[in-house]
Chains A and B, each alone.
Chain A
Amino acid sequence: MTAREVVELIKKNGGVPFNERSYRDTFKVGNPDSTVKGIATTVMATFGMLKRAHAAGLNMVISHEDTFWNDRDDVRDLIENPLYKLKTEYIRKNDMIVWRDHDHMHAMKPDFTVVGSLRSVGVQGGENATMGPHVYTIPETSLGEFAAQVKRLTGSRAFRCVGDPKARVSRILLGPGYATPRITAEIDVVIGGEQQEADGGFDNIEYVMDATSLGMAKGVIMLGHVISEQPGMEDYANWMRTFLHDIPIQFVPAEEPYW
């Protein structure tokens, strides 16, 4: 089976229309007509992840995020870049193929990135979650205790938290990756992967600092992009095994990049 045929199977089994005009959900590097020996699902086709996939005999990589350090995987300014050359040569030399599933994955029901992220932080009830907003209620605890639990469960080193650690919280809204939701009066804590600190569409960080200054119980937890969306790629591998039986399929994590 070729990589192109694998992608057709994914489109057929996704349960939602596939947007053929998405600039994200495309082949990024490698020959789509190469024979697939094994499939690795991952949140990001990092150089380290590609090496681990190759070592495991998996030559097709399905990555939720980009390969070349920008959302569009626009490589026009990278043609002479030594790291770009090294990475692409490694992929081609080993007959690997990278395909991205991002927009399609977030449109699927459930959205595995949200399901996996909720599970990884220990919030119950998100088995059928989608990217649409849904408030989850946890037993009331302090922001500090909740943050410690989330950090322990996820192993995140990217971890950052804003707000008063003593604030009593129970209403949680989660959006993994760069989709950190906007906080409102009805929500105590937003959890995301990462978000712009200031001067964006809505600045959660400053809002939570000011709410804290006014004595309100509010918090932001940022897990890191990889940490927040990674768990869902294991769900994605499990899902692929329901319709693809003859090819090995493995979840190969990207590394948490921070010290």
Chain B
Amino acid sequence: MAVEVKVATFRDIFQYEAGRKGMHSDEYLQLSAQILMDKEDMASLGVKDGGRVLAENEVGRVVLVARASGDKAHPGVAFMIESPWSHQLEDDEPCKHGALGFRGISATVTPSQDNVTELAEIVQRLKE
């Protein structure tokens, strides 16, 4: 029960607002630690809207709340708001022109019973 997805990140005005009020707030966590998925992908994982999933690749792993994107079908593609959570899955190989590579994220998504990854844990991992 796993789905391979390409994750496209985007910017959201409400998540930005929550971050300006405080990056350590519950609101920022709730808006950031989400992954918007295709309905069928979620069904194949047996995950309901609001359920938790683990998104993992060679770079990192995060537990997120899965939400149905409400978009036209996009199997194999998921969306995350750009945040410390999405950055946990990004590699950093520079591209040909020397700018920071932003190849897009590929991740394996599986259902999870763990708690959503806290910001404090992400920061802790950066220091290890």
Q: Is B a genuine binding partner of A? A: no
